[in-house]
């Protein structure tokens, strides 16, 4: 008799077990033969043979007979019955057992047992139907004859403990034992089902991922092939991948661009964010991220270029050359920020362009006129619908370089409202301490602006916020005299206009007289913008005549201007024909340069009130009050006039309210003239602020005002003594045509005009 200890199995009678020989060392050791009897005893714990003691075994086991012993080591044992173990004796070499048979309580018929078995077996088969491999084991299962065999075969895998397995073995009642086995088997099926469902789900999700990856790979490969065949429509993703790779972006920008590229890949071409992501990548990869090296500056070449492109502007050019020289010495690409101030059309922007040309650098113009929102400078955050980069970065992109000469046009036209202050954003752009890492909200990554040479332009400095103005160096563009304008037209504007119209020099002749007339009769400006427009119109009209074949060459004289320009001469404010008491000519500064204006004062019947008309600001109104007080003080005997009448003063709309004070002496003179009844000759004009004591104080915009005086036909101009220094700025041509009289006190004006 061979005693075989086992663990974690359900060994019941009537079942054939197949084992490897090694598994049952005892059988090998005993050199057991077919037909030998075997006793199975069940271990409570999984123990080695050496450690086993009597108490490690359950008291119920089974008996069997060896049916087969293969050469290749397989043993077949058929169990015959259950036993109650009386004693177990364990020595290192041997285990001996005494036992008595333990019969079942036969409380179930064979048919009932068979029916129960078949039910469980069908459940197993049904479960297996869901699997392809189920077919393979189906035949094997069909060989099972009893629930005991089924339980025994699956026993190692059953989801019950060793103790529960023993419980099945030890159960004497067949009904109860069948119930326990049934339960264990159904549980087994359930566990398998859940396990396999989970597995299946997992497999499915894995499959999906793998499939997706595989499809993406395939698409990539196919796309690459397509791209190679048609390089002209390389896909967006590939294009950007390449661009990001080739670009010299800083790390932050690269990381951001790659992030967006990934999102774009996931989004797919039909995704609703695709366009936005495309625009972003298009923008950042369109920027030049490479830092340009400093290239040597040829100062005399720069001088020549500035000279060639612009006539006159001596002081401006001088200052620009100084700036370039400093940059050349420092070997720096940027320097102090220049602010060009002057009337429109005086060449501010185009000088900026020439500076870029002189430095062999790219040029970008950014117009700031009307910018109210900080986001227009610094960009919108990308969370906004329709977000866009700010104008500065947009300018950089257009220039295609990281070190362009950037003209910020019309910074005096910046305004601010609830959506932030664009001026403070601009400060950040211009501040050399901060602009090396300027972060546009849209880009969300820093960009180095420290090599950009900024030049700003403005019509006047009055509206530029103080902190911004402090950062800049103001260069005045005073406007051109008539003869300068003729030169500019001759040398630059006319040849350019003719060239764009495709005309040869022999096709069109414009006489000097015609140019003069154009300047004085058809335009009224400090700059040359209007003149340029006139010349363009003139060339277009001439072009029609040439094409129609009327003439081979067209010549323009002053008389023909009306026809060529197809407009009437402008009605300039010219000096008055008659001298009228109470009417005096003043000089005003306007956005378009200078102009003359007539201040008119009359007494009307009334009760000593002052009526003021014209669009006047508070400053202007105050200076009228001062003028009245001065005149009252000077002519105490005439005080009655002011009491019995209303004084009506009219200042024409052409004057700008802020420029009010400079009309001070004109108002005083007009009221004095009215009071005394002595008219001032129309060829006199004046400008200056007055204090209550009659002291004449300095004013701004003298060159423009004097130019306007010449244009209007004025002969004599009174200016504040303190403005004499500014005469240096005034063109000789203008000074020659005028009798300029500096005055300290308003009384001097009254004396010289014959009022006093």
Q: Let me know: does 469 contact 414? Beta carbons within 8 Å.
A: no
- Give the interface size with ligand ADP as a residue count (CB under 6 A): 19
Q: Of 193, 188, 210, 184, which is closest to residue 131 (Cα–Cα)?
A: 193
DSSP, collapsed to helix, strand or coil, labels residue 190 as helix
Among 392, 528, 626, 685, binds ligand ADP (CB under 6 A): 528
CB of 317 to ligand ADP, least distance (A): 9
Shortest Cβ 315–ligand ADP spacing (Å): 12
Q: Which residues are catalytic?
A: 662, 705
65-104 residues near ligand ADP, rule: CB under 6 A: none
Pick 438 or 480: Cβ nearer ligand ADP: 480
Nearest residue by C-beta to ligand ADP? 347
Q: Which two tokens stand for residue 549?
A: 């074949």
514 binds ligand ADP (CB under 6 A): no
CB-based contact 411:456 (threshold 8 Å): yes
- Which of 344/582 has CB closer to ligand ADP? 344
Residue 160 CB partners (closer than 8 Å, separation 6+): 184, 187
Q: Looking at 21, 47, 239, 310, which residue binds ligand ADP (CB under 6 A)? A: 310
Instruction: Out of 61, 148, 335, 347, name the contact with ligand ADP by CB under 6 A.
Output: 347
Q: Which stretch binds ligand ADP (CB under 6 A): 320-328, 344-352, 518-526, 561-569?
A: 344-352
Query: From edge to edge, which strands make up the β-sheet containing 610-613?
Result: 610-613, 645-650, 593-605, 583-590, 684-686, 716-720, 739-743
Q: Given candidates 311, 447, 598, 718, which one binds ligand ADP under the rule CB under 6 A?
A: 311
Q: Any contact of residue 479 with ligand ADP (CB under 6 A)?
A: no
* Sole binder of ligand ADP in the list 165, 177, 532, 705 (CB under 6 A): 532
Q: At what angle do helices 236-246 and 174-229 cross, to 10 degrees?
A: 70
Give the H or E element holding residue 141. helix 134-142
CA atoms of 145 and 120, how far apart (whole Å): 12
Q: Of 33-41, 98-106, 135-143, 526-534, which segment contacts ligand ADP by CB under 6 A?
A: 526-534
DSSP letter at 146 equals S
The contacts of residue 321 (CB under 8 Å, 6+ apart) are: 299, 302, 303, 306
Q: First CA to last CA across the chain, in angstroms?
A: 157
Q: Are 647 and 671 in contact, with CB atoms under 8 Å apart?
A: yes
Question: Both tokens of residue 143?
Answer: 């060989």
With binding defined as CB under 6 A, does residue 356 bind ligand ADP?
A: no
Give the per-residue contact string, 426-465, with ligand ADP (x = CB under 6 A; - = no).
Answer: -------------------------------x--------
Question: Which of 412, 411, 406 has its CA nearest to residue 394?
Answer: 406
Q: Is 514 exposed, middle or buried (0-12, 13-18, 19+ CB in 10 A)?
A: buried
Least spacing, CB of residue 308 vs ligand ADP, in Å: 10
Stretch of 245-253, 304-312, 669-677, 740-748 lying at the interface with ligand ADP (CB under 6 A): 304-312
DSSP 145-206: -SHHHHHHHHTTT-SS-HHHHHHHHH--BHHHHHHHHHHHHHHHHHHHHHHHHHHHHHHHHH
The window from 265-273, 308-316, 318-326, 718-726 that contacts ligand ADP (CB under 6 A) reads 308-316
478 binds ligand ADP (CB under 6 A): no
Which are the contacts of 748, defined by CB distance < 8 A and separation ≥ 6? 718
Distance CA 198, CA 701 (A): 88
Q: Smallest gap, in angstroms, from Cβ of residue 730 to ligand ADP?
A: 17
Q: Phi/psi at 584 (nearest 5 deg)?
A: -135, 145
Smaller CB distance to ligand ADP: residue 444 or 463?
463
The residues pairing with 341 across neighbouring beta strands, listed in sequence order, are 458, 476
> Least distance to ligand ADP from the beta carbon of 488, Å?
5
Tell me how far apart the alpha carbons of residues 415 and 10 are, in angstroms, rounded to a whole number.
Answer: 92
222: exposed, middle or buried (C-beta count within 10 Å: 0-12, 13-18, 19+)?
exposed
Binding of ligand ADP at residue 590 (CB under 6 A)? no
Shorter beta-carbon distance to ligand ADP: residue 333 or 349? 349
Q: How many CA atoms lie within 13 A of 731 on its CB side?
A: 23
User: What's the min distance (Å) between Cβ of 345 and ligand ADP?
Assistant: 5
Q: Which among 43-51, 374-382, 524-532, 684-692 is the span making contact with ligand ADP, rule CB under 6 A? A: 524-532
CB of 493 to ligand ADP, least distance (A): 6
Least CB distance to ligand ADP at residue 623 (A): 30
Question: Which residue number, 457 or 623, has a Cβ lying nearer to ligand ADP?
Answer: 457
349 binding ligand ADP? (CB under 6 A): yes
Segment near ligand ADP (CB under 6 A), from 240-248, 376-384, 521-529, 740-748?
521-529
Distance CA 465, CA 425 (A): 12
CA 578 to chain CA centroid, nearest Å: 64
Nearer to ligand ADP (CB atom), residue 452 or residue 458? 458
User: Rounded to an integer, what distance in angstroms lies between the CA atom of residue 621 and that of residue 633?
Assistant: 19
The least CB distance from residue 406 to ligand ADP, in Å, is 14
Q: Please give the residues from 489 up to 508 whose contact with ligand ADP meets the rule CB under 6 A.
A: 492
Q: Closest distance between ligand ADP and the C-beta of residue 457, in Å?
A: 6
Which of 63, 346, 402, 435 touches ligand ADP by CB under 6 A?
346
Rg (CA), the chain: 53
Query: Which residues form the interface with ligand ADP (CB under 6 A)?
Result: 310-313, 342, 344-350, 457, 488, 492, 527-529, 532
């Amino acid at each position: 008799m061979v005693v075989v200890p086992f663990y974690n199995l359900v060994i019941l009678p009537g079942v054939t077990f197949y084992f490897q020989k090694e598994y049952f060392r005892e059988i090998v050791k005993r050199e057991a033969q077919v037909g030998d009897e075997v006793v199975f005893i069940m271990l409570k714990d999984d123990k080695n043979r050496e450690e086993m003691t009597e108490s490690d075994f359950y008291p119920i086991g089974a008996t069997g007979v060896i049916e087969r012993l293969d050469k290749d080591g397989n043993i077949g044992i058929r169990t015959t019955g259950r036993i109650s173990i009386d004693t177990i004796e364990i020595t290192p070499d041997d285990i001996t057992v005494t036992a008595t048979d333990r019969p079942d309580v036969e409380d179930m018929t064979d048919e009932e047992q068979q029916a129960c078995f078949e039910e469980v077996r069908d459940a197993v088969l049904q479960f297996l139907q869901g699997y392809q491999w189920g077919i393979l084991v189906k035949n094997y299962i069909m060989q099972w004859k009893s629930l005991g065999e089924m339980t025994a075969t699956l026993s190692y895998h059953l989801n019950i403990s060793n103790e529960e397995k023993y419980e099945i073995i030890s159960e004497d009642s067949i009904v109860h034992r069948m119930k326990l086995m049934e339960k264990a088997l159904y549980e087994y099926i359930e566990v398998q089902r859940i396990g396999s469902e989970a597995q299946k789900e997992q497999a499915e999700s894995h499959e999906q991922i793998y499939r997706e990856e595989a499809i993406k790979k395939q698409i990539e490969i196919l796309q690459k092939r397509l791209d190679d065949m048609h390089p002209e429509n390389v896909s967006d993703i590939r294009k950007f991948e390449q661009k990001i790779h080739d670009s010299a972006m800083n790390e932050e920008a690269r990381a951001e661009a790659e992030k967006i590229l990934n999102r774009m890949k996931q989004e797919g071409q039909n995704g609703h964010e695709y366009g936005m992501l495309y625009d972003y990548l298009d923008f950042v990869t369109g920027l030049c991220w490479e830092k340009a090296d400093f290239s040597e500056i040829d100062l005399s070449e720069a001088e020549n270029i500035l000279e060639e492109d612009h006539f006159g502007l001596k002081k401006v050019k001088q200052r620009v050359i100084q700036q370039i020289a400093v940059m050349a010495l420092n070997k720096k690409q940027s320097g102090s920020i220049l602010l060009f101030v002057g009337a429109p059309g005086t060449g501010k922007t185009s000088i900026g362009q020439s500076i870029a040309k002189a430095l062999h650098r790219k040029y970008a113009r950014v117009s700031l006129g009307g910018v109210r929102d900080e986001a227009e400078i610094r960009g919108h955050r990308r969370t906004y619908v329709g977000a866009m980069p700010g104008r500065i970065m947009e300018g950089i992109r257009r220039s295609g370089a990281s070190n362009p000469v950037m003209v910020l046009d019309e910074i005096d036209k910046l305004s601010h409202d609830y959506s932030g202050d664009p001026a403070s954003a601009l400060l950040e752009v211009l501040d050399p301490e901060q602009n090396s890492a300027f972060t546009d909200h849209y880009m969300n990554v820093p960009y180095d602006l420290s090599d950009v040479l900024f030049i700003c332009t403005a019509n006047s400095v009055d509206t530029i916020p103080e902190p911004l103005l402090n950062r800049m160096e103001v260069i005045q563009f005073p406007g051109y005299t008539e003869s300068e304008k003729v030169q500019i037209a001759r040398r630059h504007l006319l040849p350019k206009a003719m060239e764009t119209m495709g005309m040869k020099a022999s096709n069109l002749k414009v006489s000097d007289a015609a140019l003069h007339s154009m300047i004085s009769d058809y335009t009224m400006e400090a700059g040359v913008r209007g003149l340029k427009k006139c010349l363009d119109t003139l060339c277009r009209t001439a072009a029609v005549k040439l094409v129609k074949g009327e003439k081979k060459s067209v010549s323009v004289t002053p008389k023909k201007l009306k026809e060529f320009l197809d407009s009437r001469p402008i009605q300039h404010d010219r000096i008055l024909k008659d001298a009228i008491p109470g009417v005096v000519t003043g000089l005003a500064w306007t956005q378009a340069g200078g102009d003359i204006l007539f201040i008119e004062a009359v007494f009307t019947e009334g009760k000593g009130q002052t009526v003021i008309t014209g669009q006047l600001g508070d400053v202007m109104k105050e200076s009228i009050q001062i003028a009245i007080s001065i005149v009252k003080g000077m002519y105490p005997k005439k005080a009655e006039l002011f009491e019995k009448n209303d004084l009506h003063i009219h200042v024409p709309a052409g004057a700008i309210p802020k420029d009010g004070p400079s009309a001070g002496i004109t108002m005083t003179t007009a009221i004095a003239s009215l009071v005394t009844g002595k008219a001032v000759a129309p060829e006199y004009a004046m400008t200056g602020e007055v204090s209550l004591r009659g002291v004449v104080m300095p004013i701004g915009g003298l060159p423009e005002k004097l130019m306007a005086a010449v244009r209007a036909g004025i002969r004599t101009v009174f200016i504040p003594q303190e403005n004499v220094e500014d005469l240096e700025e005034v063109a000789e041509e203008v000074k020659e045509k005028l009798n300029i009289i500096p005055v300290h006190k308003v009384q001097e004006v009254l004396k010289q005009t014959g009022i006093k």
